Chains A and B, each alone.
Chain A
Amino acid sequence: MQIGFIGLGLMGRPMALHLAKAGHTLHLWARRAASLEPFCDVEARMHDSPAEVAEHAEIVFTIVADAPDVKALALGEAGLAEGARAGLIVVDMSTINPNAAREIGASLAEKGIEFVDAPVSGGEVGAINAALTIMVGAKPEVFEKVKPLFEKMGKSVTLIGDIGAGQVAKACNQILTGVGVVAVAEAFNFAARNGVDVAKVREALLGGFAYSRILENHGQRMLDRNFKPGFKAWMHQKDLRIVMEEAHRLGLMLPAAAATAQLFNAIVGSGMGEDDSVAALKLLEKLSTPQ
């Protein structure tokens, strides 16, 4: 299959390589030429614009930073829509505002182009091991066409609903993981300040109702004081911004997510944005000790 792929960063690069290894021909475009180097040894053609990628592909994947980037790639000058053949499917795997995804989908539909929002969870490690969780918003028949390709990149692939539904699921994921990481950090700081062995607390709680993957994995990283990302705190900050924007649009109260978003502002504002989200622990420690 002829597959376009744009956004060859930490996540996109291994994802695209999985598709090449499965025997597909890649059509690539990147802002920086250096991003294309890892693809010298696989079946891949380099192009001068997203429009040119779209001319050669049946399906184009994008995974970039935020909604304006997706919009520019899809609908901007020399964007995918300009070069698209009838029936092209654009699959955006970035994390963006659900409403922005719906708007991009509607604009592409006017031009006869199918759109799928398919944000992922699982981080760089999940991308390298083809073990991502992929949350999809699409028409069912379009989903069926893309599903075999999703299965080369991820382990858990779920059609959630119509366009935008994938992003809603991802927003829910970020509420749960954001609040979850902060809850574990608060509990660990509480235990430590009470002079209790935090590792034992974690071990005990893993057997009970407080068990969670975050307590297990992120909790272990906090114990090891391993703040390497993982998932960078500034990206979590961005994702929580999307959640809060959407909540505001709907007049929806999210008190725990709101408090968590502020804590992520503090993490990034204290210069720990490049750390993993488990840096929440460092921030709480700093704020609960004398200057």
Chain B
Amino acid sequence: MKLGLIGVGGMGRPMAERLLAAGHQLTVWSRRPDAADALLALGARRAASLQELAACCEMVCTNVTGSADVVGLTAPLLEGLAADAIHVDFSTIAPSVARAIAAAYEARARHFVDAPVSGGTAGAQAATLAIMWGGKAALAERLDPIFRCLGKTIVRVGDAGAGQVAKACNQLVMVAAIEACAEAARFAEAAGIDFARVRTATLGGSAGSRVLEFFGGKMAARDFAAGVEARLHHKDFAMLMAEATRQAVPLPVASAVMQQLDALIAAGWGTQDTSRLLAVLERSGGSPVASNSGRSAINEG
């Protein structure tokens, strides 16, 4: 299929590689032209403008940062896309924005599909992403072959915006679990116990989870290099909390986690991994050395 791809960052590039490997004709565009050089060597074509890219593709895939970035792409893409063409956005944006864009496309007989993913760069490279999409059911037939090149779990959640609602739920469950993992690590550490062993022991029991395995592993190794940069989770949580307030739905745990993410950003760790939530807790006191010596000094006094 003739595909366009915009955004060749941590997610976009491996996705482009999978699509090329599957034999699709790929035209790419990126804000910094040299970012796409590696893909040209694999057979991709470079478009001079967004309009040009849209005009030569049956389907355009986008991977950008936030709602505003996606909105900024829609005018030039709509200008170029042929009738019945599809714009699949893999970015994580606000459900309400996704719904509004889909309506604007619909009005001009084009299609917009929100298809946020979970699984990170590693999942994109291995083509094992979870893809949760929202849009008209009739599009499934055209989307499925493309989605299958990129991911393993592909679910149409519902109409426009539904994919983004599912992604918000995904972020809530995952980041809350990272915070729980960090608190467990901190708790073990304060008691003078090696968290790596606690992790190994608990992975086999009822608390076993992918987060405990992956992020718990990073915490045990004190490896805070990003995977997914914490500032992106911070951004996703702002969207989640704004949506919850709009719906008047209390999310007490998510709101507490959001505060820890705020403290992480304040510490200047936004471009590091979210497992750094552990360090936010360490900063808030209770280091084993300080508290023990403090207590014994008082006892002796």
Query: A residues touching B (Cβ–Cβ < 8 Å)?
Result: 237, 241, 244-245, 247-248, 250-255, 258-259, 261-263, 265-266, 268-269, 273
Contact = CB atoms under 8 A, between A and B. Distances in A.
Contacts of A247: 262
A265 B263 contact: no
Nearest to A283: B250
Contact of A251 (B241, B245, B256, B266): B266
B280 to A, nearest CB: 9
Given A248-B234, A258-B258, 5 more contacts: A237-B248, A245-B242, A251-B263, A252-B262, A269-B248
Contacts of B22: none
A253 B266 contact: yes
A252 B247 CA distance: 24
Contacts of B49: none
A255 B242 contact: no
A136 B80 CA distance: 50
Interface in B144-184: none
Contacts of A241: 242, 245
A266 B266 CA distance: 28
B170 to A, nearest CB: 20
Overall SS of chain A's interface: helix
A118 to B, nearest CB: 25
Contacts of B260: 253
B292 interface: no
Contact of B250 (A250, A251, A252, A262): A262
B265 interface: yes
A265 B248 CA distance: 4
Interface string B260-283: 101101100010000000000000
A253 B259 CA distance: 5
Contact of B262 (A251, A261, A262, A268): A251
Given A251-B265, A269-B250, A261 B259 contact: no
Contacts of A265: 244-245, 248-251
B250 A263 contact: yes
Nearest to A233: B248
Which of B244, B249, B255, B263 has the most A CB atoms < 10 Å from its CB? B255
Nearest to B270: A251
A237 B266 contact: no
B251 A262 contact: yes
A182 to B, nearest CB: 12
B255 A258 contact: yes
**5 A-B pairs with the lowest CB-CB distances in the bound complex, closest first:** A251-B265, A269-B248, A266-B250, A268-B248, A265-B250
A154 to B, nearest CB: 29
A261 B255 contact: yes
B82 interface: no
Contact of B252 (A245, A252, A259, A273): A259
Contact of A262 (B234, B238, B255, B266): B255
